[in-house]
A and B are shown apart, each in its own frame.
Chain A
Amino acid sequence: MKNFDVYVKKQLLEKYPSMVFFLVVMLFPHFGAKAFGLFFIMLFSLASDVRQKRLDLMTFLPLNRRQIFWMEYLFLCLLLSTTFFVGLPFAERSIYAWLVLVRSFIFFSSYFGVIISAVSIGFDPYGAAFLFLLVDLVLGGIGSSQLGPTFNPYKLISPVYQANLLASLVFALILIYMAYRLFTQRGGER
């Protein structure tokens, strides 16, 4: 727990200037707003540290990559939950408000997985994130999620469209696991 406290303090102190705007955007009780904010906050967080060769600052302390990975994930979950609950009184009072939280969580987990995987193997996280977003929007936008001649199975797991919540959650978990393996084994070593 003490390590997580340290990590939260470090991330908040270091990143707040670049995070404030997106955190405000995330207060809106709408999936699009939350996805937009999360997308940029993820880019400015751990991925940016690895890209700028600043990960050593943490690994020189009594922290290992495994901890850093999960603390970053938890930290972003915390930001998502906090902004959700702060914005909740302004949301529509229905199950859909909570659905926004679930969908945002799936979106965040998928993109976090992609961004951290990309940066761990030496790719530019910004390029990888925008490319994946483009592919996700285009590929997920084609066809229908209903069985038929235009059936597009990707639509079911697409982090943006999430035609099937369970399938997209499983896809997100796979991406997270892949990111965890790549980050702990390679961690964008340079």
Chain B
Amino acid sequence: MIRVEHLRKQLGNKQVLSDVSFTVEPGTIFALIGPNGAGKTTTIRCLTGALQADGGQIELFGENYKNFSQIYLKERMAVVPEERHVFRNFTAKDYVQIWSRLYSKWDDTIFSNFVARYSFDLSQKVESYSIGMKTILFVGLCVASQADLLILDEPTQHLDPTVRLEIMDMLKECASSGRTILISSHEIFEIEEYATHFGIIKEGRVIYSDSIDNAKENHRIVDKGENLQASDVIGLVGSSVLVKTKSDVGRYPRLNEIVVGYLTGHHERSLSLR
């Protein structure tokens, strides 16, 4: 569905992406995780055609995505942008009109359910919505677009806990119906609840990507003083160490521990120099 290889992008004098590679399979929820400024949003902007990459390849739906001339590919993806900027003077109704014109598989029933559930005032200007309401509106538009690929930048940001859970369930439902979802998020604790795969991005490079289940199976958290055996040390997680091994040492990690281990570790440096 999505194959990104060695993506590079410089903005001004800053090398924002230096080597981004990952693959997203159909029907999965892939989370791009990383700290602020790691390159998550830039990767998404390259995928959507908002930015042109300086190098590397993007393959979407099995086709090489070049120069963003393939509008039919863009019609198969719907995006929730990170900064919830909206068109000025647009009401939610205006948004619905343009989305339903642009997406041929638009489903009014799905959007109507959204409107009813979250009590949107369709005649109100979207600018005046709270940031949480804007997020819900965009997620609703994305889901109702029936696009095959949903790209959501921080989809649960500024939402209250109940709505977060509802949105996560909805995304899981979308994935189980065969649609592919790419999300970018800082929320490492909640990602485990709904994502199936993940990639850790740091300083413009994807330093690790795998399915969550595989990653847990191949890593261990080892406490101080424990024998590391023939393990590959990844990084520190508090006072413990994250290691990559299949040996029966320590305990299985949680996703957030894997992420923290990779982000604090210097393991990827040696990988990059090989």
**Chain A residues near B (Cβ < 8 Å):** 2-3, 5-6, 9-10, 13-14, 16-17, 54-57, 59-67, 184-185, 187, 189-190
Q: Return the 5 tightest CB-CB contacts between A and B, nearest first.
A: A62-B74, A59-B50, A60-B79, A64-B68, A62-B75
A49 vs chain B, min Cβ distance (A):
10
Q: Please, could you name 11 A-B residue pairs with CB atoms under 8 Å apart, sorted by A? A: A13-B87, A13-B90, A57-B85, A59-B50, A59-B68, A64-B74, A65-B49, A66-B69, A67-B71, A189-B51, A189-B52
Which listed residue (A6, A66, A184, A187) contacts B101, Cβ 8 A?
Answer: A6
Q: How far is the CA of A9 from the CA of B94 in the complex (A)?
A: 9
| New A-B pairs, 11, CB < 8 Å, besides A13-B90, A64-B67, A65-B68 | A6-B98, A10-B98, A16-B89, A57-B81, A60-B50, A61-B79, A64-B71, A67-B71, A185-B52, A189-B11, A190-B12
CB distance from A57 to the nearest CB of B (A): 6
In B58-84, the 8 Å CB interface with A consists of 67-69, 71, 74-75, 77, 79, 81
B87 touches A10 (CB 8 A): yes
- Find the residue from B45, B49, B90 having the highest chain A CB count within 10 A: B49
Q: Is B102 an interface residue (CB 8 A)?
A: yes
Tell me the bound Cα distance from A59 to B102 in angstroms: 12
Q: Which residue of B lies closest to A54 (CB)?
A: B85
Report the Cα distance A181→B157, complex, angstroms: 37
A56 to B97, CA, bound (A): 19
CB–CB A56/B50 < 8 A: yes
Interface of A is mostly: helix
Q: Are B102 and A3 in contact (CB under 8 A)?
A: yes
Q: In whole angstroms, how far apart are the Cα atoms of A103 and B245 in the complex?
A: 74
Cα(A9)–Cα(B100), bound, Å: 13
Interface pair B85/A62, CB less than 8 Å apart: no
Chain A residue numbers with a CB within 8 Å of B99 are 61
Q: Does B48 interact with chain A (Cβ within 8 Å)? A: yes
Is B269 in the interface zone, CB < 8 Å from A?
no
B252 within 8 A of A: no
Which chain A residue has the least Cβ–Cβ distance from B71? A62
B88 within 8 A of A: yes
Q: Could you say which residues of chain B place their CB within 8 Å of the CB of A66?
A: 68-69
| Given the contacts A55-B50, A59-B50, A64-B49, A13 and B74 also touching, CB distance less than 8 Å | no
Q: Which of B8-27 contact A (CB under 8 A)?
A: 11-12
The reply to whether the CB of B120 lies closer than 8 angstroms to some CB of chain A is no
Nearest-CB residue, chain B, relative to A6: B98
Q: What is the bound-complex CA distance between A159 and B74, given in angstroms?
A: 38
